[in-house]
Amino acid sequence: MAIDSKTLHSRLKEFFGFDSFKGDQEKIIRHLTSGKDAFVLMPTGGGKSLCYQLPALVMEGTAIVISPLIALMKNQVDAIRGFVDGNDGIAHFLNSSLSKAQISEVREDLLSGETKLLYVAPESLTKAENIEMLKEIKISFYAVDEAHCISEWGHDFRPEYRRIRAIIEDIGTAPIIALTATATPKVQSDIQKNLGIQDAAVFKSSFNRPNLYYEIRDKSDPKRDIIRFIKQNPGKSGIIYCLSRKKVEELAELLNINGIKALPYHAGLDAKTRAENQDRFLMEEIDVIVATIAFGMGIDKPDVRFVIHYDIPKSLEGYYQETGRAGRDGGEGKCIAFYSYKDIVKLEKFMQGKPVAEQEIGKQLLLETVAYAESNQCRRKLLMNYFGEDYPQDNCGACDNCLNPKRQFDGQEEMCLIIELVESMPEHFKIEHLANILAGESNALIKSYEHDKIEFFGAGKDHSFRFWCDVIHQGIVRHFLEKDIESYGLIYVTEQGREFNRKPYPLMLTEERHFVDGEDDDDDLPAGAARSGGGGDQVLLAMLKELRSDLSKKLHLQPWILFGDPALEDMSITYPVTCDELRNCQGVGEGKARKYGKEFTELIAKYVEENGIERPDDFVVKSVANSSSANKLFIIQGIDRKLALEDIAAARSLEMDELLSEIESIVAAGTRLDLDYYIRQTVDDDVVEEIYDYFRNEAKSDSVEDAMADLGMDYDETEVRLVRLKFLCEVAN
């Protein structure tokens, strides 16, 4: 018997404090309360929970809510208990975290009819004793939340979800409501079939989130990009998703070092830390949470202003769900994802150990992601189409492709050339190999196949290697070519490709959508290093070197003692004009900047002024030191307290040699340490003087190796290293 609208509204107000329903909520609730199945597709934040919570409270019996997220259950149950004061029995959850005593409490409340809502984890639902217990009670309906978990084509497949129908039959049937935020037409039909609700009324709200802005960025220098973005958006809350825990940790640390309040969140952290970090984000003590995908399910922070994908997600479902956490309040929500094809290759490699069927699916989902990332069409339109919805406009005005349309060219001939090349060879090759052949760039592999002798070699030499890689990718996305992951990415021509080559037609390809291959995962380069080796202002660099040489003569110091080459190169790139800015250059600490920097910044300021140079509104990303910063801090404090180096080493389980390396990297970063107390005790005064003089007057660099070679066998390496440190701290830093 359906419940009338007036009653529903008054319950809505009474229990949840809301004045009106959102979207289709009321329709859905009336449908369910009249005893019929429902299938709800509503974007994240749309208000799905209420579609079963309210009916559960007003209907006779207990509603069984199947949800995959144990952590979330407790929150939801607490929330319901909060609505209905003083009656904790009203909602319960059943999952593996409960003790025996807690389970019997649940049982009691269930049997007495007090419980209106029971959240169950799918694996608990399969347990015989739970099934027996549920058989004894009256069930109002079953809600299957996050229903996409049923489908292998969803982004979060859970095998136990496929048994739900059979278990429901066993316990006793009742209406079913399935809910999800992400369902392609394929997933949607999987869900309905599997739950046996083909006849259910489907309530599909638009998935469009007009307030979200979508952008795909080239992953050439993502850390820098991210830091810049956050600095341009001070005080705003954001989530950054990375695929690995390691990356999460690293990035969170890097952000902190660069003055951004951020914390990590991933499944490797203990529950307490995770809860704390999440709370601090919700309470806005920190601005940014860096997380693996585990974060965000069930958190309900309305004003997340940006969601950044450091790594391209494995599927568009996942991507859309995660971006959906931005701008829930309808306000600004910027969604930026970094993309490089290298990441795709990496993800494909991870899949190789999996069963073939799973690989096939994974590969398809990934391909959709590549197509999305590389496309020059409106991203909103692509996403809507992906979720089976039409987006009638061509220009949404809120995605990178609509705001900056990419140039296109007719790539008909180029595509045919690639197809012919692949077809001409009896064996199959990878993208890079094919691109090299067409661009006419030889290498050992090409020579070994004598591919530099075939007619195709250099057939497309008007274009670069990169260009050909891009066109091949676009061919894959359009299904003219296929990349086989089992054979490590060899390229095949598809039937569609052959057809195209037989009867080609104009084919608009994107120009200059040039995704630079990403950085490697472990390349936390020291500040500026990524950009050194050219790229700087060569005229300025020459002037800086001249100045260094003049000054070093005047001060009777070796040039390297003033500033090393990497520091000068950084100056020629970032044009620092203040002491503070200078400190961002490699190997320049506060002391050095103050002691020797003035002439350099003055020269740069004059140069900038005279040449009308626009200085980059730029900054150097301060990098995470190789070892843990905790170690560094401990060492610096130990030396301040004049502890024997042996004791410091022992406390940190370091060899003396390792400790010295740590100290060297601390000093190289520009921190000054006073090691005299230790040197005086352990090194002979004369020896100190001799080595010190050597560095001051003879050394051509601060290399320990050179020093050992120059000084001869009379000196112990540890002594040389210690005195060198003393010298660097006193003179160079």
For Mg ion, the binding residues (CB under 5 A) are 48
Element (DSSP H or E) covering residue 555: helix 538-555
Residues 6+ apart with CB under 8 A from 578: 601
Q: Which stretch binds ligand ADP (CB under 6 A): 14-22, 387-395, 421-429, 616-624?
A: 14-22
Copy the structure tokens of residue 432: 């890079």
Q: Does 589 bind ligand ADP (CB under 6 A)?
A: no
Q: Does 30 bind ligand ADP (CB under 6 A)?
A: no
Q: Which stretch binds ligand ADP (CB under 6 A): 39-47, 235-243, 467-475, 596-604?
A: 39-47
Q: Does 48 bind ligand ADP (CB under 6 A)?
A: yes
Element (DSSP H or E) covering residue 215: strand 212-218
The site for ligand ADP, by CB under 6 A, has a size of 14
Q: Which amino acid is at 334?
A: K
Judged by beta carbon, residue 9 or residue 261, the one nearer ligand ADP is: 9
Which does residue 458 touch among Zn ion, Mg ion, ligand ADP, none (CB within 5 to 8 A, set by kind)?
Answer: none
Judged by beta carbon, residue 22 or residue 224, the one nearer ligand ADP is: 22
Q: Does 334 bind Zn ion (CB under 5 A)?
A: no
H-assigned helices in 556-613 = 559-562, 565-574, 579-582, 590-610
Query: Which of 47, 89, 268, 489 is in the footprint of ligand ADP by CB under 6 A?
Result: 47
- Which residues from 259-288 bind ligand ADP, rule CB under 6 A? none
Query: Which of 33, 49, 375, 586 is in the footprint of ligand ADP by CB under 6 A?
Result: 49
Q: Identify the CA nearest to 339 among candidates 187, 176, 219.
A: 219
Q: Does 300 bind ligand ADP (CB under 6 A)?
A: yes
Which does residue 325 touch among ligand ADP, Zn ion, Mg ion, none (CB within 5 to 8 A, set by kind)?
Answer: none
Q: Does 63 bind Zn ion (CB under 5 A)?
A: no
Q: Does 22 bind ligand ADP (CB under 6 A)?
A: yes
Q: Tokens 């020093």 label which residue?
A: 707
Copy the structure tokens of residue 520: 């490697």
Q: Does 216 bind Zn ion (CB under 5 A)?
A: no
Which does residue 292 touch among Zn ion, ligand ADP, Mg ion, none (CB within 5 to 8 A, set by kind)?
Answer: none
The site for Zn ion, by CB under 5 A, has a size of 5
Q: Does 9 bind ligand ADP (CB under 6 A)?
A: no
Which does residue 658 touch among Mg ion, ligand ADP, Zn ion, none (CB within 5 to 8 A, set by kind)?
Answer: none
Q: How many CA atoms lie within 13 A of 37 on its CB side?
A: 16
Query: Which of 18, 449, 465, 634 is in the footprint of ligand ADP by CB under 6 A?
Result: 18
3-state secondary structure of 334: strand
| Cα separation values, 97 from 90, 117, 271, Å | 19, 18, 13
Judged by beta carbon, residue 115 or residue 321, the one nearer ligand ADP is: 321
Which does residue 94 touch among Mg ion, ligand ADP, Zn ion, none (CB within 5 to 8 A, set by kind)?
Answer: none
Query: Which of 32, 39, 41, 46 is in the footprint of ligand ADP by CB under 6 A?
Result: 46
CB of 391 to Zn ion, least distance (A): 9
CB of 488 to Mg ion, least distance (A): 40
Which does residue 378 touch among Mg ion, Zn ion, ligand ADP, none (CB within 5 to 8 A, set by kind)?
Answer: Zn ion
Which does residue 300 touch among ligand ADP, Zn ion, Mg ion, none (CB within 5 to 8 A, set by kind)?
Answer: ligand ADP
Q: Does 378 bind Zn ion (CB under 5 A)?
A: yes
Are residues 141 and 52 in contact, defined by beta-carbon separation less than 8 angstroms? Answer: yes
Copy the structure tokens of residue 319: 């991507």
Dihedral of the alpha carbons of 310, 313, 316, 322, in degrees to the nearest 10 = -60
Q: Tokens 């195709």 label which residue?
A: 456
Cα–Cα distance, 65 to 51 (Å, whole number) = 11
Burial 606-643 (b: 16+ CB within 10 A, else e): ebbeeeeeeeeeebbbbbbbebeeebbebbbebbeeeb
Cα–Cα distance, 478 to 475 (Å, whole number) = 5
Cα–Cα distance, 152 to 189 (Å, whole number) = 12
CB of 400 to Zn ion, least distance (A): 8
Residues 6+ apart with CB under 8 A from 93: 73, 74, 76, 77, 106, 118, 119, 120, 121
| Torsion-angle region of 298 (φ positive above 0: left; ψ -120 to 50: alpha; else: beta) | left
3-state helix, strand, coil in the chain (%, to 5): 50, 10, 40
3-state secondary structure of 225: helix
Which does residue 396 touch among Zn ion, Mg ion, ligand ADP, none (CB within 5 to 8 A, set by kind)?
Answer: Zn ion
CB of 14 to ligand ADP, least distance (A): 13
Judged by beta carbon, residue 402 or residue 659, the one nearer Zn ion is: 402
Cα–Cα distance, 206 to 277 (Å, whole number) = 33
Q: Which stretch binds ligand ADP (CB under 6 A): 15-23, 134-142, 460-468, 493-501?
A: 15-23
Q: Which stretch binds Zn ion (CB under 5 A): 21-29, 343-351, 380-388, 562-570?
A: 380-388
Judged by beta carbon, residue 18 or residue 391, the one nearer ligand ADP is: 18
Question: Binding pattern to ligand ADP, positions 169-208, x when CB under 6 A?
Answer: ------------x---------------------------
Cα–Cα distance, 33 to 4 (Å, whole number) = 10
Copy the structure tokens of residue 205: 């709200």
Element (DSSP H or E) covering residue 118: strand 117-120
Q: Give, in degrees to the nearest 5, the angle at Cα 480 between 479 and 485.
A: 65
Directed axis angle between helix 704-711 and helix 717-727, to 10°?
A: 120
Copy the structure tokens of residue 714: 């009379």
Q: Which stretch binds ligand ADP (CB under 6 A): 47-55, 255-263, 330-338, 430-438?
A: 47-55
Judged by beta carbon, residue 22 or residue 261, the one nearer ligand ADP is: 22
Are residues 220 and 518 in contact, defined by beta-carbon separation less than 8 angstroms? Answer: yes
Q: Does 428 bind ligand ADP (CB under 6 A)?
A: no
Q: Which residues pair with 120 in a beta bridge?
A: 66, 94
Q: Does 50 bind ligand ADP (CB under 6 A)?
A: yes
CB of 23 to ligand ADP, least distance (A): 8
Query: Which of 116, 363, 380, 592 is in the footprint of Zn ion by CB under 5 A?
Result: 380
CB of 147 to ligand ADP, least distance (A): 12
Are residues 455 and 438 in contact, defined by beta-carbon separation less than 8 angstroms? Answer: no
Please identify the residue of the shown chain whose CB is closest to the bound Mg ion.
48
Are residues 400 and 216 in contact, defined by beta-carbon separation less than 8 angstroms? Answer: yes
Cα–Cα distance, 210 to 391 (Å, whole number) = 11
CB of 204 to Mg ion, least distance (A): 16
Judged by beta carbon, residue 301 or residue 592, the one nearer Mg ion is: 301
Q: Does 321 bind ligand ADP (CB under 6 A)?
A: no
Query: Which of 399, 438, 490, 667 is in the footprint of Zn ion by CB under 5 A?
Result: 399
CB of 33 to ligand ADP, least distance (A): 16
CB of 518 to Zn ion, least distance (A): 24
CB of 205 to Zn ion, least distance (A): 20
CB of 208 to Mg ion, least distance (A): 19
Copy the structure tokens of residue 464: 């670069």
CB of 50 to ligand ADP, least distance (A): 4
HEC assignment per residue over 263-294? EEECCCCCHHHHHHHHHHHHCCCCCEEEECCC
Question: Binding pattern to ligand ADP, positions 477-516, x when CB under 6 A?
Answer: ----------------------------------------
Q: Which residues bind Zn ion (CB under 5 A)?
A: 378, 380, 396, 399, 402
Q: Which residues bind ligand ADP (CB under 6 A)?
A: 18, 21-22, 25, 42, 44-50, 181, 300
